[in-house]
Amino acid sequence: MSSFKLHDSFEYAASDNQIISANAVQNGQPIWLEDLRHWLDRHETGSRLPPERRLAETLHVTRPALRKALALLEVEGRIIRQVGRGTFVATPPSTSYAGLSALTARTGPHDAMMARLALEPELAKLAALHATPLHISRLQSLASDIRLVSTWDEYEALDHALHDLIAESAGNVLLHELHKIMNAVRQVVVWRQLSPGIAGPPPDYHSFDEHDAIVAAIAARNRTAAKTAMRAHLNATLHAMTSDE
């Protein structure tokens, strides 16, 4: 494969802008994100991106920051991420979410959480009706795997995957796409509330039981319980965001 060559050309592209700080921002977006877009422009559909760790090093950004950018590029249809296989350059879709970047600049963290509260309880309810046995077993695996993470970074990645799978399980393509847009925007605008001095979620982190309750209700085909459990989970997150602690 030509992956080695891809890495080289990426490093060459990034070195053009080495003097620019990783924190430099233009039109509400980090400049390194534009470098990444230009790199995508120059590569064929199906080309594999360098691994996340290497990409973050090359761009001089943290992995959580890179992950947020990749979520944005995925919703824009610029890349495709496949669990266990990697991230690939995608054919730019004829209808892309061109307004997404502007949307992130016009959305506050509280707005993003309100949008989640409007959409996700309904998706959980629909998932209780439409989820396939395969969806349910994958949801159960994610809800148990997330208890094993040691860093907030890993927690955020699995939490994102769990909520996205619930949206997919709802079985409505348009609602799933709306959820992807919302999730990408909220990943950019909602900053994780880190507990000072704690590297990752404690074993009794409130979200673990909340996720279990959502997944159990979907597995039991209990639409009301699924909706209620999702609302309770999002309200707990909102409360953690807005409390004065």
Q: Which stretch binds Zn ion (CB under 5 A): 4-12, 19-27, 49-57, 159-167?
A: 159-167
Binding-residue pattern over the window 36 to 65 for Zn ion, x denoting contact by CB under 5 A: ------------------------------
Query: For helices 173-189 and 63-75, what crossing angle results, to 10°?
Result: 150
Nearer to Zn ion, 159 or 168 (CB): 159
- Each as own residue / partner, the long-range contacts of residues 179-183 (CB below 8 Å, 24 or more positions apart, any chain) are 179/119, 179/120, 179/123, 180/74, 180/75, 181/75, 181/97, 181/100, 181/103, 182/112, 182/115, 182/116, 182/119, 183/71, 183/75
Whole-angstrom Cα distance, residue 74 to residue 199? 28
Nearer to Zn ion, 79 or 146 (CB): 146
Nearer to Zn ion, 14 or 166 (CB): 166
Nearer to Zn ion, 61 or 142 (CB): 142
Question: Shortest approach of Zn ion to residue 16 CB, angstroms?
Answer: 39
Count of beta carbons in the 10 Å neighbourhood of residue 43:
16
106 CB-near residues (< 8 Å, 6+ apart): none
Nearer to Zn ion, 100 or 157 (CB): 157
Question: Shortest approach of Zn ion to residue 177 CB, angstroms?
Answer: 20
How many residues at the interface with Zn ion, by CB under 5 A?
A: 1
At 120, the amino acid letter reads E
Residue 159 sits in the site that holds Zn ion (CB under 5 A): yes
Burial 86-110 (b: 16+ CB within 10 A, else e): ebebbeeeeeebeebbebbeebeee
Whole-angstrom Cα distance, residue 224 to residue 202? 29
Please compute Rg for the chain using Cα positions.
19
110 CB-near residues (< 8 Å, 6+ apart): 241, 242
Q: Which stretch binds Zn ion (CB under 5 A): 87-95, 151-159, 167-175, 221-229?
A: 151-159
Q: Which stretch binds Zn ion (CB under 5 A): 20-28, 51-59, 142-150, 158-166?
A: 158-166
Question: Shortest approach of Zn ion to residue 42 CB, angstroms?
Answer: 36
Nearer to Zn ion, 52 or 164 (CB): 164
Residue 120 sits in the site that holds Zn ion (CB under 5 A): no
Residue 168 sits in the site that holds Zn ion (CB under 5 A): no
Question: Shortest approach of Zn ion to residue 82 CB, angstroms?
Answer: 22
Applying CB under 5 A, the residues found at the interface with Zn ion are 159
